[in-house]
Structure 1
Amino acid sequence: MRTVIALALCLTLISCENNAQDVSDLSTKKDSISYAIGLNIGDSFKQQDMDIDLDVLLGGINHALAEEEDARLLSKEQIQAVMMSFQQEMMEKQQAKQEAAGKENKEAGEKFLAENKTKEGVKVTESGLQYKIIEEGDGPIPTDKDKVTVHYTGTLLDGTKFDSSFDRGEPATFPVTGVIKGWTEALQMMPVGSKWKLWIPGELAYGPQGAGGQIGPNQTLVFEVELLSIDGQ
């Protein structure tokens, strides 16, 4: 999460001599820069669900740009206290939101996996990893000491694609133990030349933290993986 302090530094770059107005034309470089900064700040406010009074915020910027200490309604010490309190509230709010999303994703994943494991060809390991053999290779099987080269596509349960080596136009190479737990387990069962479909529970993927903006907390992930080779073999 971007800090409120970083946002405040960006905000001071905006000219606020007039109240906010509709923008329909960006005729100068300064206009484009100002508008881009404004969009970034607005998007950040929305993403963090900030409850901000825009008029008061602009008033604070005006007072800061005026460089008149007497115009300020808060001392530096008061500003620091307010910002620290606000950041704490935002952190707690974000944590609660993350936990709620994690619970929802975990329940959705468990429901899906319970149904998916009954489908033809789907196998389940002791850890809860589910997989289906699409093509069975006849090459060697990697160990936890190996580095492998694979092609893969990763999606969420709703089909949203979040990563694909095919889209990048080249396979990926990494240590067997350098990926999420579900991958590490699956790779040590796959002969080179195999193509499998994996359904990986959240606890074997990115867990309660999720990954970036695309993979939420405790989300079950789906991969199609083709094991191309083991380095050195």
Structure 2
Amino acid sequence: MRKILVVAALFAVAGCQPQGANNAGGASGAGANPQTDEQKTFYALGVTLARQIQVFDMSPEELEYVKAGLTAQVTGKEPVVDIQAFGPKLPELARTRSTARAEKEKVKSKTFLEEAAKESGAERTESGLIYKTLTEGTGAQPTASDIVKVNYRGTLPDGKEFDSSYKRNEPAQFPLNGVIKCWTEGVQKMKVGGKAKLVCPSDLAYGDRGTPGIPGGSALVFEVELLDVQKNEPPPAPPAPEGQPAAPAPQGQPAKK
């Protein structure tokens, strides 16, 4: 809901204008190849805005109305639409479009998931996770409460990459119970030194809401390499004030003397 309200606020200040109502203003950046750092930063702004508004699942024609509204606001022209009347309609439109898109994605993902489950060596668990060992590990095997260090690559069913620690040249480290359900379950089946493929139904990933770069309802594919496992030990009990008994230690850990 917060995401929808943020989008609503963005459009409320941007305004809306009919297609073709504002084509003046010099050369267009559409299709441009940014060269300077500043140009690339503005291009990144466009990508960032697009990720925030993908929930509307717009047609090319609808996108033109959005571009016209943005242009009107940025150039100081009077909007041709009453923002007070139509701005409040944005959250409901976002919900409607988001729900419809998620249902379409789940239909497409169903076939993809069925095919993935048929791959040689693939195992479909009770939750719906499809797990396939790519390289067998020989080290420690994590539990849900452990901190894991991994390299990974994430793709959509069409093969489009949306995230990669390899590209950042920096492994990720996090508590295994603090990520999407697909990871919490799947990585527990791995051992350090191993590599696996996790195919995640949307209800084990980002659900119907999705997240920037990932449509709601979409299945996801991760190739995960488990590099290290650390026990997530609870912090020691704080020392008691002088003259008072020591505080009880966290469960499973002796009191500090």
Q: Please, what TM-score do these two structures have when normalized by structure 1?
A: 0.71
Secondary structure of 2:191's counterpart equals coil
* 1:3 and 1:87 in contact (8 A); partners too: no
Rounded to whole Å, the distance in 2 between the matches of 1:84 and 1:92 is: 15
Secondary structure of 2:114's counterpart equals helix
Query: 1:190 maps to which residue?
Result: 190
Matching of residues 84-233 of structure 1 within 5 Å: 84-212=84-212, 214-231=213-230
* 2:192 and 2:226 in contact (8 A); partners too: yes
Q: Relative to structure 1, is the Cα distance of residues 88 and 62 closer, same or farther in structure 2, using a 3 angstrom cutoff?
A: closer
* 2:129 and 2:201 in contact (8 A); partners too: yes
Q: Relative to structure 1, is the Cα distance of residues 161 and 62 closer, same or farther in structure 2, using a 3 angstrom cutoff?
A: closer
Matching of residues 17-28 of structure 1 within 5 Å: 21-24=24-27
**Letter matched to residue 225 of structure 1:** V
1:91 Cα shift? 2.1
Q: Relative to structure 1, is the Cα distance of residues 125 and 21 closer, same or farther in structure 2, using a 3 angstrom cutoff?
A: same
Q: Please, what TM-score do these two structures have when normalized by structure 2?
A: 0.64
Rounded to whole Å, the distance in 1 between the matches of 2:211 and 2:23 is: 36
Rounded to whole Å, the distance in 1 between the matches of 2:78 and 2:111 is: 55
Rounded to whole Å, the distance in 2 between the matches of 1:106 and 1:177 is: 25
CA RMSD of aligned residues (A): 3.6
**Letter matched to residue 199 of structure 1:** V
| Number of aligned residue pairs | 194
* 1:199 and 1:221 in contact (8 A); partners too: yes
Rounded to whole Å, the distance in 2 between the matches of 1:24 and 1:90 is: 30
| More helix, by proportion | 1
1:90 Cα shift? 2.2
Q: Which runs of 5+ in 2 are unaligned?
A: 1-6, 16-21, 29-37, 57-61, 233-257
Q: Relative to structure 1, is the Cα distance of residues 4 and 134 closer, same or farther in structure 2, using a 3 angstrom cutoff?
A: closer
Superimposed CA distance per residue, residues 135-193 of structure 1 (whole angstroms, 9 cap, x where no aligned partner): 11111211121100000000001110000000000110000011111000011111111
1:105 Cα shift? 0.6
Secondary structure of 1:207's counterpart equals coil
* 2:202 and 2:218 in contact (8 A); partners too: yes
Rounded to whole Å, the distance in 2 between the matches of 1:218 and 1:63 is: 38
> What stretches of structure 1 move > 6 A for 4+ residues in a row?
none
Superimposed CA distance per residue, residues 42-101 of structure 1 (whole angstroms, 9 cap, x where no aligned partner): x87x9764758x69x68xx5679xxxxxxxxxxxxxx9xx53431232222222211111
